[in-house]
Amino acid sequence: MSTIIETPRLLLRNWQEDDRAFFHEINSDPEVMEFFPALRSREESDALMDRIVAMINDDSFGFYALQDKDTGDVVGFTGLMRTDLEPFMPKGVLEIGWRLAQRYWGKGYVTEAALASLAYAFNERGQDEVVSFAVHNNYRSTSVMQRIGMVNDPKRDFDHPKVPDSHPQLKRHVLYTISKQQWLNQHGKSDA
């Protein structure tokens, strides 16, 4: 099954073939995708999942499937992905992101998985910084960023170059960041 990270309630693991229908569900739900310019078709979701699986297989970074340990259900994804948004941030900066099926909202899964992902990035993989970004009024996501200790860096906020001009309300993104030193200050010394 290729588990990368384990928390008290969750396995963060690579995607499997039988996860495809669920992956499409979260990428085609209008409420889950409220802050994205388009819903993904099954073919687009499958292609995205294939790219994520390849990334995880390549260097263990990617948006991991979140599996509830008690039920075995996949509830969404959380993970770490290399960005490619120059000139707004250098290529390869590590982004933390998440997406959850609506029926699992409000249970703390994202916060739990995101904290474990940050520990993995800093303690096991020696990263210096992790960023996250969202549409400026996506308060569900920015609240998670704040809960996991990230801080908004307004001078690094940007208009997302991949958001089409047909969706101007989705262009402005706020950027949150946490450094390894900030993480260690909040959570104690590294185990590494």
Phi, psi of 35 (to 5 degrees): -105, 25
pLDDT of residue 88: 86
pLDDT of residue 192: 44
Six-digit token string for 11: 């396995």
pLDDT of residue 137: 96
Six-digit token string for 144: 């998670």
Six-digit token string for 120: 């993995």
Q: What is the pLDDT along the chain (192 residues), one digit of tens a residue?
A: 588 999 999 999 999 999 999 999 999 999 999 999 999 999 999 999 999 999 999 988 999 999 999 999 999 999 999 988 888 888 889 999 999 999 999 999 999 999 999 999 999 999 999 999 999 999 999 999 999 999 999 999 999 998 999 999 999 999 999 999 999 999 876 544
Distance CA 147, CA 178 (A): 12
Distance CA 92, CA 85 (A): 9
Residues facing residue 64 across a β-bridge = 78
Start-to-end CA span in the chain (Å): 25
Match domain 3-187 to its CATH number in 3.30.390.10, 3.40.630.30, 3.40.50.1220, 3.40.1000.10: 3.40.630.30
pLDDT of residue 188: 74
What pTM did the predictor assign? 0.93
Phi, psi of 147 (to 5 degrees): -65, -30
pLDDT of residue 91: 87
The runs of H, that is alpha helices, within the chain are 20-28, 42-59, 109-119, 139-147, 180-187
Distance CA 157, CA 155 (A): 6
DSSP state of 40: P
